[in-house]
């Protein structure tokens, strides 16, 4: 057996042995992700912002006090004090319940608790950690958004 063949086999065996931990290694790139906290009514929950220019622009506003209210049957919205950089606008793949988005025309933050479709005027900023139960609380409330990491 040639040395090159053993090296290839050894490399493949090593790659196979490391494959269970590779998902953890790929999360090293997630170090740029930021954790934030939402607090309103008696609800308190965290979310993770993605690493895009629009999410970083949103993070630069924190801490932030806004009013959150119900809109339609699938979302809560809050108007931001200024427009965000819309560079990361959609449409994007796989819109999902729990997404945190920015609606460019109105300049508002959107917290989705129901199904929705991605459109050109939406920017996905991040995702609620855990379930969406906290944003099912109906009504209009003062809401505080803070950075936690």
Whether residue 27 is found in the same domain as residue 38: no
Encode pLDDT of 76-123 as tens digits.
999 999 999 999 998 999 999 999 999 999 999 999 999 999 999 999
Q: Which domain holds residue 114?
A: 33-147
Please state the pTM of the whole predicted model: 0.78
Whether residue 48 is found in the same domain as residue 104: yes
Whether residue 113 is found in the same domain as residue 132: yes
Residue 44 vs residues 7, 35, 37, 111, 132: alpha-carbon distances, Å: 53, 13, 7, 14, 11
Encode pLDDT of 44-61 as tens digits.
999 999 999 999 999 999
CA–CA separation, 108 vs 101, rounded Å?
8
User: Cβ distance 36 to 49 under 8 Å?
Assistant: yes
Q: What is the pLDDT of residue 20?
A: 41
User: Exposed, middle or buried by CB within 10 Å (0-12, 13-18, 19+), for 116?
Assistant: middle
Whether residue 27 is found in the same domain as residue 44: no
Whether residue 9 is found in the same domain as residue 62: no
- What CATH number has the domain bearing residue 119? 2.40.100.20
Encode pLDDT of 31-41 as tens digits.
568 999 999 99
Whether residue 97 is found in the same domain as residue 128: yes
């Amino acid at each position: 057996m040639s040395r090159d063949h053993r090296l290839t086999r050894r490399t493949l065996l090593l790659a196979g042995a490391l494959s269970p931990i590779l998902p953890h290694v790929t999360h090293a790139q997630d170090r740029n992700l930021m954790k934030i906290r939402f607090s309103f009514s008696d609800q308190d929950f965290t979310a993770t912002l993605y690493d895009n220019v629009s999410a970083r622009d949103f993070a630069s506003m924190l801490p932030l006090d806004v009013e959150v209210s119900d809109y339609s049957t699938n979302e809560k919205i809050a108007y931001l004090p200024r427009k965000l950089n819309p560079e990361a606008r959609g449409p994007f793949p796989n819109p999902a319940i729990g997404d945190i988005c920015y609606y460019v025309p109105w300049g508002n933050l959107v917290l989705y608790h129901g199904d929705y479709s991605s459109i050109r005027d939406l920017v996905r900023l991040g995702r609620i950690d855990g379930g969406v139960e906290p944003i099912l609380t109906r009504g209009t409330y003062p809401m505080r958004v803070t950075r936690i990491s």
